[in-house]
Amino acid sequence: MKNVRQPRNPRMIDVARLAGVSHQTVSRVLNANPNVRPEVRERVQHAVQQLDYRRNTAARALATRRSMNLGVVSFGISQYGPLQTLFGIAEAARPIGYATNLVSLGDNIDRKSVHAAIGHLLANSVDGIIVIAPVEGARAAVEAVPAGLPLVTFEPSVVNDTTSVAIDEVLGARLATRHMLDLGHESVWQVSGPEGWLGTEARIRGWRTELTAARRVAHEVIAGDWSSASGYRAGQEIARNREITAVFVANDQMALGVLQALQQSGWRVPRDVSVVGFDDIPESAFFQPSLTTVRLDFPEIGRRCVDRLLEMIRRTRLSHRPPLQPQLVVRSSTGPPPSKHNA
C-alpha cells in the first residue's frame, strides 16, 4: 500500500512568504513588537489566519519561562462594551500564542469576590492580568494583584496611563450633546445608565459639561439600567413632557426602548423629538428610524490592553497612546426641533 504524505503544518516562513515580508518581521508581529507599521502588521495577521498558522506554545513556554496564559477579570460581561472588549482581547492574544483565562464576576461585586478571582488566576500561573473594570467596585482588583505581576485595566474614563487603557467617553457624550444643540435644540435631556458604573458617570459628565459650556440647562437625568425595558419606561416618561425635543440616551439598547415608547405614544422621531444613542451596536443602523449614536471601538480597546500587557511582561519601553477617540455616527433619528420643522 502506497504511503500518503500528510500535509505539513504551516511554518513561519510560509506566513512570511504569503504576507510578502521577512521571517523576522513575522516574528516581530507575533511577539507584539511595536516597531512594525500598522499595514504590515495587518497583512501578517491576515496571513496567519489564512494559513491557520499555530505557534508551538509548549516549546515557546519552555524557552521563555512563561506560561503563555493571560488572565482576564471581567465585570458586566452581559453588556455590549465589556463583551466586545473580551472579543478584542482573545483575537489579539491568539495569533501570538497566548491563551486567555477568564473569570467573570456578576453584578454583586465585593472585595472577597475580587480577591477570589485574582487568586484563581494566580493559581493558574498567568503571565499578566487584564481587568475590564466598568464599575466602581472593580477597582478593588488592583489592590489584590501582587506587586510585580503585570496588570492592565480598562476603565471607561479619560484616564490613560502606563497601567490602563481608556476610551474618552466624556468626549463621546459631548459630541452627542453638541450635535443636537447645533441642530437648534434649546437643551438636551439624558436617559442615564445605573449608578456605580463608570460609563454612567462619564456620560453624565460629558453631557453636563457641553450644556454648561453652551449656557443651557442640564435637567435631572432619567435613570435607566442599560436594558431596553428601562429605556421603554424612560420613553413613556419623556412622552408626558412636551417641552422635551432632544434626548441623549446612554446606550443603544435603552435607546431602542425609548424609540418604541415614543412611537407608541404618537411621537414622531425626529420630527417631534430627536434621539441619540451611545456605543453603535450593530443593530442600531436598523432601528426604526436608524439611530444616530456614538461609536466606541471596544475590540480595539481589547487589542490595546493585550499590547500594553505584553510590553509590561517583556519589560520593554511602554508606548504612550492617547485615549481611544469616539466617533459620532449621524443617522435618521436626529433633526431640527419642532419649531424649525414648522417654520
- In angstroms, the CA 169 to CA 203 distance is 6
Q: Report the pLDDT value the prediction gives residue 341, as an integer from 0 to 100.
A: 58
pLDDT tens sequence across 144-188: 677 778 989 887 765 666 778 889 999 999 999 999 999 999 999
- Mean pLDDT score, 225-235: 97
Percent of the chain with pLDDT strictly greater than 70 = 85
- Mean pLDDT score, 306-315: 88
pLDDT tens sequence across 182-210: 999 999 999 999 998 889 999 999 999 99
- Mean pLDDT score, 277-303: 96
Q: Report the pLDDT value the prediction gives residue 32, as an integer from 0 to 100.
A: 61
Q: Report the pLDDT value the prediction gives residue 237, as an integer from 0 to 100.
A: 97
C-alpha closest to that of 325 among 171, 203, 133: 171
Q: How many CB atoms lie within 10 A of CB 134?
A: 23
Report field, pTM of the whole predicted structure over 0.85: no
Whether 64 has a pLDDT exceeding 50, the answer reads no
46 vs 229, residue with greater confidence? 229
C-alpha grid cell for residue 152? 492592565
C-alpha grid cell for residue 17? 512568504
Residue 334 backbone dihedrals phi, psi, to 5 degrees: -125, 145
Q: Report the pLDDT value the prediction gives residue 52, as an integer from 0 to 100.
A: 73
Burial class, 151, CB count within 10 angstroms (exposed 0-12 / middle 13-18 / buried 19+): buried
Contacts of 267 by beta carbon, 8 Å cutoff, 6+ apart: 239, 273
255 with 249: CB under 8 angstroms? yes
Compute the residue count for the chain: 343
pLDDT-derived band at 4, boundaries 50, 70, 90: very low
C-alpha closest to that of 319 among 82, 45, 100, 32: 32
pLDDT-derived band at 325, boundaries 50, 70, 90: very high
14 with 53: CB under 8 angstroms? yes
- Cα→Cα distances 66→1, 36, 199, 254, 260, Å: 45, 24, 35, 44, 52
Helix (H, G, I), strand (E, B) or coil at 73: strand
Q: How do the domains of the chain map onto residue ranges?
A: 7-54, 169-296+328-341
Q: Report the pLDDT value the prediction gives residue 266, as an integer from 0 to 100.
A: 96
- In angstroms, the CA 198 to CA 250 distance is 12
- In angstroms, the CA 267 to CA 81 distance is 30
CATH superfamily of 169-296+328-341: Response regulator (3.40.50.2300)
Amino acid, single-letter form, for residue 281? I
CATH superfamily of 7-54: lambda repressor-like DNA-binding domains (1.10.260.40)
Burial class, 99, CB count within 10 angstroms (exposed 0-12 / middle 13-18 / buried 19+): middle
Average pLDDT, the chain: 86
